[in-house]
Every structure is written in structure tokens, then in C-alpha cells.
Structure 1
Amino acid sequence: MMDALSVVSQLRDLASEPQNRAVIVQDQGCLPGLVLFLDHQSPEVLLATLQTLRYLAELSPNVPTMKNELGMMVSLETLIGREGLSLDITSLAQEVFNILNAPPVPVPCSPEREKRKKSQFFLNSSNKKAKSVTLQIQGLDSTDQRSLCEQALLTVRGVISFTFQMASKRCTVRIRADLPTESLATAIAATKVLSAQQVVRNEAGQEVFIPLNPSGVKVQQNSSLPDYLPEEEESPVREVDRAISRTTAKEDSSGSWLNSAASFLTRTFYW
């Protein structure tokens, strides 16, 4: 039988896919189970739970539902004040709490301005699709290095969004479909203190690392940094080797994989 870490890790993998986030939050068993996991004694379970919540909160319509979930905000506050936890856990708990507690930000964006912003961010206006890449970043040891990495990624034209997992020194980056992954490595290597490898799964489902050689070609940069594009406006695609996050739930029209995972979570939570 799967243990708590296996269960929440599976849900985190599902939540890493943008198209799964609304379904997970709407499911009757997932959010209550995640709230229960926020009280778990295992640091690994706590971190995986917070990473899952952070993914889910990236979809703006999820935020009110998550905030209003019974026990969510109280559990996060308790976790923030809990002694003996790593900085990664308390910092991520605070980050999730702040996102859920922030007042809604109005987006007074006219269609004309939105069109102009998109055309600036995408070199080719017909290029509507994006892909997700998971990077293992050597040297990502502190918030200072994280800031360096953020600044490096923000300068690359074609980067849509990114999420850090500091405990595992990883960053999941959503990029335009035609942007070479090596461009990310080039930008990160330019910091002089960080380097990146791509994390993928092989046919056996095992994680493997692919070296990314910084290309000699100059990385195309944003002249001015645009706002991140909304997740729902992009359709994630995968390279042949696929990034670490899973796509089965998207490919299965019945959503059976996500449904079975949610059902298993519900059964596990109420033992």
C-alpha cells in the first residue's frame, strides 16, 4: 500500500501540469486531504504538500476555493510558526499563505493592450503553444542564488513562467515551444555561479539527467519584462523525451488517471 509521501507526490506530479489544476481543486477529496497533510510529522510529506498547493495556486480561479477550504489558512499559519522545520518548508508555507491571502488584483487590460503584450513576448504570433522543462540547478543553495536564477530566466524571451523547488534544487520552467532548452542553460550559466541539467523520465519511468551545454548563440532577451502570460492561454506540449511532469491525465479523455488518483487520496485520508 502506498504511504502518505507516495500519495502526495503523485498528486504533486499531477498538479505540475497546468491543465490538471482546476480539476484537482474541484475534486471533493483532494483539498481536504492536502489540509490534513499540512499537519503531518514528516518533513518530506510537508514539503511535497506545499509544493502541490503552490502549483494549484498558480491558477488564479483556484485561489478563492483554496482559501475557503476548511482548515487551509489555519493549518498554513500553524505550519509557519511550527518549530524545528527547515527554512524551505516555512518559507514555502509563508509563500502559499501570502498568495491565498492576497486581495484579488484587477486586470484592467484592454484587448488591444493584451494583443500588443503577447506579440512582444512571442516572436511569432502564430506560436501559441508552450512546453514545460524541469531543470536541476547546481549551486541553487540560497535565496540569493534563487534571485540570480530568476533574473537570468526573466531576461530570456520566450520564458512564460517558472516555479522553484528549493529543497531539491529544481526549477520548472514553462517556455515557448520553439525556444531551445539550451537557451535556459546559457542564461543560467551566465550567472557564473549556477549551471543546469534537464530532468526527464525514461521509458521505465525513472528520472534521468540530460546535460545542457550552454549554446554559443546569444540568447534573445526581452527589451522590457512583460507580465507572465496566464497559464490557461497556453497549451502545454512536451518534447519527445518529456519533462518530469506527467501528461497521461491530459491524454486520457475520460480523466480516469486523475479520477483514480483522487479516489485513492480520498480513501487514504479517511483511514
Structure 2
Amino acid sequence: MMDALSVVRQLRDLASEPQNRGVIVQDQGCLPGLVLFLDHKDPDVLFATLQTLRYLAELSPNIPTMKNELGMMVSLENLIGREDLSVDIKALAKEVYNILSAPVNPAPRTDGGRKKSQFFINSSNKKAKSVTLHIQGLDNTQQRSVCEEALLKVKGVISFTFQMASKRCTVRIRSDLSTESLATAIAATKVLSAQQVVKNEAGEEVFISLNSCGVEPAKNTALPDYLPEEEESTEMEVDRAISRTAAKEDSSGSWLNAAAGFLTKTFYW
């Protein structure tokens, strides 16, 4: 039997896959349901809902629809102002609010420089780098949630994308954050460990062991300003598509319908 937490967590897992984000926002039941979840009493439901909205907002065309959804911005403002919520929830609510409030189409550059991707909003993206990690123990959505929570608390982490089938996570971080800091945060979960994935001179992928730096990485008292990802190459998108499990690919559509039905029956009166 579905409950609010299981529904929103599965919806979050679907939203973490770039190819699902447009479909979820276009569905007539899911987005209104997520807005209603923003008023839920369970902090776990609130946090998973905000994570889902954060994923959905990474697709630029989704932003106007999300911003204009009835109750969205007001509910986010309410969460930001609540004193009874954790720092993580309030910071993530503020992050999502800022994403939806930001201009969708920044003014074009006039300096003759290379045109930025539509996903660029902040020039400080130039100070970011991407790291691919192989995470031992990343076997299910529960462990994925553990890893997400660990990474979200590290100051300097901008965003991340999982490829569950290959137990990988691509993390976009500020250039001054060491990869060892990520390993330390992941190792602190006691159930996960990380190795860095790089290519050698022959173009072959190899794993590099990461020594925990022994010092707990700086934590976010507020999550970092959202810095959208650069558009990934076609090769990366193909890799992501291949990494999905067949079961997830086959069932995502039917599950989405079931989730929308649950939201409608539960919250519309």
C-alpha cells in the first residue's frame, strides 16, 4: 500500500533521471501533489519533496510551469520562515525558491565570448569541476538516500547525478573542494565508500582509491547557491540512458500514473 513517504521517494528517484523530468512536470497530478506535500507534517516527506523539486528544476523548461503552479512559491516561503524545521530543510526550500525565482533566460553576452549553455545562470560555474565516483554499497534507493544526505551537507557540493546500475555518482563541486573530502563524507555513513573513476592514457577507465582526509569536511549551514549543470554531451546522455535498469525503464510510466492517482485520491477533496 502506498504512503506519502514511499510515493515521494519513488517520485524523487524518477526525477533524478534527466529524461523523466519533463514528463513528471507535465503530468496533471504529480506537480500539484508535490505542492501539497510541502505542507506535510513529516520532515522526511518535506525533505524528499524538496529534493524532487530540485531535480525537476534542473530542466530549464520546467521552471516557468513549476513557478506558476498554484501554491508553489507560497508554500516554499512558508517553509523558509518556519522555526520548527531543520536547517537542511529550510536551506533546501530556499534553494528551490531561488531557482524558480531566477531569470530563465539571462541576458545574452555582448563581450564576444563563447555563448553559455542555457543552463548557465551564475558565472561562478567556471570555478566548478566534475568528479565521478564509484560508490561501494550503492545497491538500493535506501543507500542512495544515505549518500544524497551525506553529499548535500558538504560545503562546496553543487549538484550530483546517480547512475545506479554502475554504482556511480557524478558530483559537481567547487574547484577548491578536494575529492578526498567527498570520500570522507561518504565514509562517514559507515555503510558506503568511494573511489574516483578516471581515464588513463589509453582511454581506459580505472579506479583510484581515495584516502579519507581524516578531517570532517565543512558542512553547509545553508546549502550552496544553486549552480545548474553544464549541458552534458550526447555521449553522457546515452550513458545515463543505458545505466537505467530495464525494470525501471519499463515501469516508470505505469508507476507515475499510479502515483498521480494516489496523490489525487489522497489530497483532492
TM-score (norm 1): 0.60
Which residue identity lines up with residue 43 of structure 1 in the other structure? P
Alignment partner, residue 42 of structure 1:
42
1:188 aligns with 2:179: yes
**1:259 maps to which of 257, 260, 266:** 257
Shift of 1:267: 2.5
Report whether the alignment pairs 1:212 with 2:199.
no
Q: Does the C-alpha gap of structure 1 residues 192 and 8 become closer, same or farther in structure 2, counting only changes over 3 Å?
A: closer
- Kindly, what percent of the aligned residue pairs are identical? 55
Cα distance, 1:183–1:48 mapped onto 2, change above 3 Å: closer
1:41 match: secondary structure: coil
Q: Does 1:146 align with 2:155?
A: yes
Q: Report the AA paired with residue 136 of structure 1.
A: C
Asked if structure 2 preserves the Cα contact closer than 8 Å seen for 1:188 and 1:196, the reply is no
1:1-271 matched pairs, under 5 angstroms: 1-106=1-106, 108=108, 113=114, 136=147, 142=153, 145-147=154-156, 150=157, 163=159, 172-173=160-161, 188-189=179-180, 191=181, 194-196=184-186, 211-213=193-195, 215=208, 228-230=229-231, 234-235=236-237, 237=239, 248-249=247-248, 251-252=249-250, 255-270=253-268
Deviation of 1:105 after TM superposition, in Å, equals: 3.0
Contact 1:138–1:195 (Cα < 8 Å) also in 2: no
RMSD: 4.6
Q: Which digits, 9 at most, give the CA deviation of each residue in 1:152-176, with x for residues without a partner?
A: xxxxxxxxxx63xxxxxxxx3369x
Query: What is the CA-CA distance between 1:262 and the residue it aligns to?
Result: 2.6
Gap change, CA 1:64 and 1:213, over 3 Å in 2 = closer
CA contact (8 A) 2:133 2:170 kept: no
Q: CA deviation at 1:82?
A: 1.2
Find the residue that maps to 1:212 and give its secondary structure.
Answer: strand
C-alpha distance in 2 between matches for 1:256 and 1:138: 28
Letter in 2 for 1:37: F
Q: Which amino acid aligns with 1:235?
A: E
For the Cα contact (< 8 Å) 1:14–1:20, is it kept in 2?
Answer: yes
Residue 213 and residue 43 in structure 1: after superposition, are their counterparts in 2 closer, same or farther (change >3 A)?
Answer: same
Check whether the contact 1:12–1:51 (CA below 8 A) recurs between aligned residues.
yes
2:155 counterpart SS class: helix
> Using the alignment, how far apart are the partners of 1:182 and 1:64 within structure 2?
27
